[in-house]
Amino acid sequence: MFNFVIMKRKAVYFDNAASTPLDREVLQVMEHCQWEVYGNPSSVHEHGRKARVELEQSRRTIAGIMNVSPSEVFFTSGGTEANNAILWGCALDGRIRNFITSPLEHPAVLRPLELICREKGMGLHYVKNGNTGHVDLEHLSLLLGKYPDALVSLMHANNETGNLIPVKAVAELCREHGALFHSDTVQTIGKFETNIQKLGFDYAVASAHKFHGPKGAGFMVIKGGREFSPIIRGGGQERNMRAGTENVYGIAGMAKALEISAGRIEKDMEHISGLKSELIRLLYENIDGVQFNGDAEGSSLYTILNITLPARVDPEMLLPALDIEGYSVSTGSACSSGSNKGSHVLEALGRSGTEASLRVSFSRYNTIDEARGLAGVLKKLCTG
């Protein structure tokens, strides 16, 4: 008798900008809460107080790491909701009359801005980007001169290319003109030492599942009590800024995930930057005509690498081929991968959309062997 054992290799996960695996310690915190803490944090009895304690302890942990006051942290269901809430909130208040953004922003900023400006008759202005996708500061200054009553929305790190904006320079320009500065910081929180105070954001947002926390939990930082008109209304939760029973377990897990990530940022940065450099090196060495989108080797987030392969690679076959080889990567943002359109980011960077491009995004769980394995498979796809 023979025993057949079919070995199923687990696919290597290189799509951490889309979502990350939960940290085991985060899972433990969540399991405890899910079983023990079932009261509604708005209830004033023993069960409610227990949930309230979890909630406020999480807020304090997060505020401490962000270097803001707990009163400046508001929980949401994630980054998309937080972006929508901030943009709507500022528009409903009537404090601003114009928005300045970039064509490279995430749809969670571009789509609400289009709706808001249509509904409220507000101006929507796009700042130019150079070839590598960096924001044109002179043009931004020009726009701010024209529209000082604006909210500027520019993401900290681009989710497709990893490009970083010069945060302090943008914040300084906004301050000079009296404009507000919102940044979609979903890709950077938990990956940089995010000192909101020092960086100069008026509004920042986070999504727990981007830093080994749970899906369904996020937060917004609203500096200096710039309270605004909430978009989700109902009960008095989150000091009237976001109605709806709080996702207590998700929030407790998020606080733990941020605490863990913040405590090991330097170590992770070194490890992950090493993976990215090694992949760049191997691809340059082995694939003639490979290109990296954005400012991959310059001012770029260490967790993201956006690659365009030579023309001989069929763009339609790239992801399926990598999937079969056991590598989970994406072409661009997961949020738009359901649609057949090319990436609006790569298009804005001058790509035609007919090239075979992919985004590799790393986490602390990836290894150098996985990066080398991917390089090998990409080489094979380009020569095979």
Q: Give the strands of the sheet with 123-126, arranged side by side.
A: 73-76, 218-222, 203-207, 180-183, 150-153, 98-101, 123-126
Residue 32 C-beta: closest distance to a second copy, Å: 11
Strand-strand pairing, 327-328 and 123-126: unpaired
13 vs 302 by CB, closer to a second copy: 13
146 vs 239 by CB, closer to a second copy: 239
What interhelical angle do 24-36 and 248-263 show, nearest 10?
Answer: 160
Check residue 164 and report its DSSP letter.
B
d(CA 73, CA 63): 7
Check residue 10 and report its DSSP letter.
P
Residue 49 C-beta: closest distance to a second copy, Å: 9
User: Looking at 29, 72, 79, 276, which residue binds a second copy (CB under 8 A)?
Assistant: 79
Check residue 71 and report its DSSP letter.
G
64 vs 216 by CB, closer to a second copy: 216
Residue 352 contacts a second copy per CB under 8 A: no
Check residue 289 and report its DSSP letter.
T
Residue 71 contacts a second copy per CB under 8 A: no
Catalytic entry in 33, 117, 174, 335: 335
Check residue 72 and report its DSSP letter.
G
Closest-CA residue to 308 (of 156, 104, 160): 160
133 vs 230 by CB, closer to a second copy: 230
Q: Interaction with a second copy in 201-260: which residues (CB under 8 A)?
A: 207, 209, 214-217, 229, 231-237, 243-250
108 vs 144 by CB, closer to a second copy: 108
Cβ(150)–Cβ(96) under 8 Å?
Answer: yes
Residue 69 contacts a second copy per CB under 8 A: no
Residue 32 contacts a second copy per CB under 8 A: no
278 vs 325 by CB, closer to a second copy: 325
Query: Applying CB under 8 A, which part among 32-40, 62-70, 93-101, 164-172 lies near a second copy?
Result: 32-40
Two structure tokens written together for 185: 């910081």
Residue 42 contacts a second copy per CB under 8 A: yes
Residue 350 contacts a second copy per CB under 8 A: no
Residue 235 C-beta: closest distance to a second copy, Å: 3
Give 215's Cβ-side CA count (13 Å radius): 6
User: Looking at 334, 370, 373, 379, which residue binds a second copy (CB under 8 A)?
Assistant: 334
Q: Interaction with a second copy in 144-173: which residues (CB under 8 A)?
A: none
- The CA-CA-CA angle for residues 256, 274, 254, to 5°, reads 10
- Residue count of the chain, please give it: 384
Is residue 174 among the annotated active site residues? no
Query: Applying CB under 8 A, which part among 43-51, 261-269, 288-296, 342-350 lies near a second copy?
Result: 43-51
d(CA 324, CA 329): 12
Q: DSSP readout, 338-368?
A: TS-S--HHHHHTT--S-S-EEEEE--TT--H
User: Looking at 339, 350, 352, 354, which residue binds a second copy (CB under 8 A)?
Assistant: 339
Residue 39 contacts a second copy per CB under 8 A: yes
d(CA 118, CA 183): 22
Burial class (CB in 10 A: 0-12, 13-18, 19+), 352: exposed
Q: Interaction with a second copy in 257-316: which residues (CB under 8 A)?
A: none
28 vs 383 by CB, closer to a second copy: 28
Binding-site string for a second copy from residue 92 to residue 111, where x marks contact by CB under 8 A and - marks none: x-------------xxxx-x
Residue 80 C-beta: closest distance to a second copy, Å: 3
Tell me the site size for a second copy, rule CB under 8 A: 77
Two structure tokens written together for 304: 């993201």
Binding-site string for a second copy from residue 119 to residue 138, where x marks contact by CB under 8 A and - marks none: x-------------------
CB count within 10 Å of CB 7 equals: 4
Residue 84 C-beta: closest distance to a second copy, Å: 5
Residue 384 contacts a second copy per CB under 8 A: no
Closest-CA residue to 77 (of 203, 244, 239): 244
148 vs 244 by CB, closer to a second copy: 244
What residues are annotated to the active site? 335
